[in-house]
């Protein structure tokens, strides 16, 4: 069973749909909104019946129904509104993480926990600290959104499929993320060698501003792309695929950073994070990553001690 906490919210229910569509497992949607997860589960079960998928969705307002889940995906919490940054959600969502960590500890103590709630690196840190699970089992989401976004914008410039691009965005999910065009590649060539500096600057800006652009256009934040990314992470763990994805990981010396969470490439398999990969960086890239990781640290330092 894969549980989604926040399962009646936009990203939560879309994630439930993606898990079913990829035929990964049954899905438990848990949410504090009365009746809403049950209603979403019913609709998802009808979708599965239409498509002939033999997985079930369940909905509940009771955390104990996550019992037995090997993966718990956390999408619960407040989304930002137009004009807000993700960082503005720090305190309110840290409270939500703290509450949910208690429940996961009690009902799914052996699970791998994927955290998407914003600001996602800081929320992954709170979840990690409050759960006390090994770091391999507490994994933050967003690299699998920021990097494919970079691939998308580059693919438009190059008029090729985004699937042909291996994009790299490191550090923080937020205003200070670090897109790395030299480390991103197309057919073995660095992306930076295939586009002009002006085009590179443009796609980097589009990537950083992508989330805000969606909110500006439609009034609420993304759901389709993040849900797809979460499903890929869950799939890699569930099927022990050992695929390399950029994820938010607790660093204990990797890249020279300690006691902080940042987006880095990692191998995902049955144990969660099987290995963190350390990319060789130029001096300039090192500075860019430092600035990004320092922005995560600033957020963590702004959290009262009970969240750390
Ligand atoms: N990291 C990313 O890339 C990324 C992408 C999209 C959204 N997000 C973030 O994900 C979060 C959710 O976004 P959304 O659009 O789905 O919001 P939403 O308001 O549609 O859904 C949030 C859901 O969480 C539920 N919830 C709140 N507290 C809860 C608790 N203690 N237990 C269980 N459920 C609880 C709410 O009832 C609601 O249904 C936001 O913080 C948003 O910023 C992050
Ligand atoms: O922009 C947001 O608030 C949601 C998410 O972090 C995103 O990048 O789409």
Any ligand 2 atom below 6 A from CB of 118: yes
From the alpha carbon of 86, which atom of ligand 2 is closest? 3
CB 271 within 8 A of CB 71: no
Any ligand 2 atom below 6 A from CB of 222: yes
Residue nearest to atom 4 of ligand 1 (CA): 116
Residue nearest to atom 9 of ligand 2 (CA): 211
Let me know if 176 is a catalytic residue.
Answer: no
Distance CA 132, CA 275 (A): 19
Question: Quick check: helix, strand or coil at residue 168?
Answer: coil
Distance CA 73, CA 111 (A): 10
Beta-sheet strand order (sheet of 71-74)? 57-60, 27-30, 2-5, 71-74, 112-115, 138-140, 243-252, 258-269, 272-276
The Cα angle at residue 36 between residues 58 and 80, in degrees rounded to 5: 115
pLDDT value, residue 24: 98
Q: Rounded to the nearest 10 degrees, what angle do helices 224-238 and 143-158 cross at? A: 120
Distance CA 216, CA 83 (A): 9
Pairing of strands 169-170, 71-74: unpaired
Cis upstream peptide for 184 (omega within 30°): no
Q: What b/e string do you get for 26-48 counting C-beta neighbours within 10 Å, with b at 16 or more? A: bbbbbbeeeebbbebbeebbeeb
| C-alpha distances in Å from residue 31, one per residue of 3, 48, 108, 143 | 11, 21, 16, 25
Closest CA to 10 of 66, 78, 111: 78
Question: Quick check: helix, strand or coil at residue 156?
Answer: helix
Tell me which fold the domain 2-140 belongs to.
Answer: Rossmann fold (3.40.50)
Task: Tell me the pLDDT of the chain (308 aa) as tens digits.
Answer: 999 999 999 999 999 999 999 999 999 999 999 999 999 999 999 999 999 999 999 999 999 999 999 999 999 999 999 999 999 999 999 999 999 999 999 999 999 999 999 999 999 999 999 999 999 999 999 999 999 999 999 999 999 999 999 999 999 999 999 999 999 999 999 999 999 999 999 999 999 999 999 999 999 999 999 999 999 999 999 999 999 999 999 999 999 999 999 999 999 999 999 999 999 999 999 999 999 999 999 999 999 999 98
pLDDT value, residue 131: 98
Span from the CA of 173 to the centroid of ligand 2 (angstroms): 8
- Delimit the domains of the chain by residue range: 2-140, 143-307
DSSP 191-253: HHHHS-HHHHHHHHHHHHHHHHHHHHHHSS---HHHHHHHHHHHHHHHTT--EEEEEEEEEES
ipTM of the complex: 0.99
| C-alpha distances in Å from residue 308, one per residue of 28, 121, 122, 208 | 29, 13, 10, 27
Any ligand 2 atom below 6 A from CB of 207: no
Domain 2-140 matches domain 143-307 at the CATH topology level: no
pLDDT value, residue 165: 98
Span from the CA of 76 to the centroid of ligand 2 (angstroms): 14
Span from the CA of 292 to the centroid of ligand 1 (angstroms): 24
Please give the torsion angle defined by the CA atoms of residues 116, 252, 70 and 42, in that order, rounded to the nearest 10 degrees.
0
* CATH assignment, 143-307: 3.90.110.10
Any ligand 1 atom below 6 A from CB of 13: no
CB 3 within 8 A of CB 72: yes
Q: Which residues are annotated as a binding site for NAD(+)?
A: 6-12, 31, 93
Other C-beta atoms lying within 10 Å of the C-beta of residue 204 = 19
Q: Rounded to the nearest 10 degrees, what angle do helices 120-131 and 90-107 cross at? A: 40
From the alpha carbon of 120, which atom of ligand 2 is closest? 6
Burial of 71 (0-12, 13-18, 19+ CB in 10 A): buried
Q: Which residues are annotated as a binding site?
A: 6-12, 31, 80, 86, 93, 118, 149
Question: Quick check: helix, strand or coil at residue 61?
Answer: coil
pLDDT value, residue 244: 98
pLDDT value, residue 169: 98
Span from the CA of 120 to the centroid of ligand 2 (angstroms): 9
């Amino acid at each position: 069973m894969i549980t989604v906490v926040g399962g009646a919210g936009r990203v939560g229910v879309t994630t439930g749909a993606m898990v079913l569509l990829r035929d990964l497992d049954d899905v438990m949607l848990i949410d504090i909104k009365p009746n809403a997860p049950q209603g979403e589960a019913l609709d998802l079960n009808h979708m599965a019946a239409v498509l002939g998928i033999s997985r079930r969705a369940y909905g509940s307002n009771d955390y104990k129904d996550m019992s037995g889940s090997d993966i718990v995906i956390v999408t619960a919490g407040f989304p930002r509104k137009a004009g807000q940054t993700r960082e503005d959600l720090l305190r309110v969502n840290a409270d939500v993480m703290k509450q949910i960590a208690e429940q996961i500890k009690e009902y799914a103590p052996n699970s791998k926990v994927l955290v998407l709630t914003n600001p996602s690196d800081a929320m992954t840190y709170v979840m990690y600290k409050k759960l006390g699970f090994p770091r391999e089992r507490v994994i933050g989401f967003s690299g699998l959104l920021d990097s494919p976004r970079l691939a998308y914008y580059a693919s438009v410039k190059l008029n090729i499929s985004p699937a042909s691009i291996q994009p790299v965005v490191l550090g923080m999910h937020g205003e200070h993320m670090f897109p790395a065009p030299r480390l991103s590649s197309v057919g073995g060539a660095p992306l930076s060698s295939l586009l002009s500096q002006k085009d590179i600057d443009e796609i980097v800006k589009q990537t950083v501003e992508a989330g805000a652009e969606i909110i500006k256009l439609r009034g609420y934040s993304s759901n389709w792309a993040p849900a797809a990314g979460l499903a890929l992470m869950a799939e890699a763990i569930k099927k022990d695929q050992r695929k390399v994805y950029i994820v938010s990981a607790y660093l204990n010396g990797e890249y020279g950073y300690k006691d902080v969470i940042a987006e880095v490439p990692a191998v995902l398999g049955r144990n969660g994070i099987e290995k963190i990969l350390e990319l060789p960086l130029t001096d300039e890239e090192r500075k860019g990553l430092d600035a990004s990781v320092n922005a995560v640290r600033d957020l963590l330092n702004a959290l009262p001690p009970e969240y750390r």
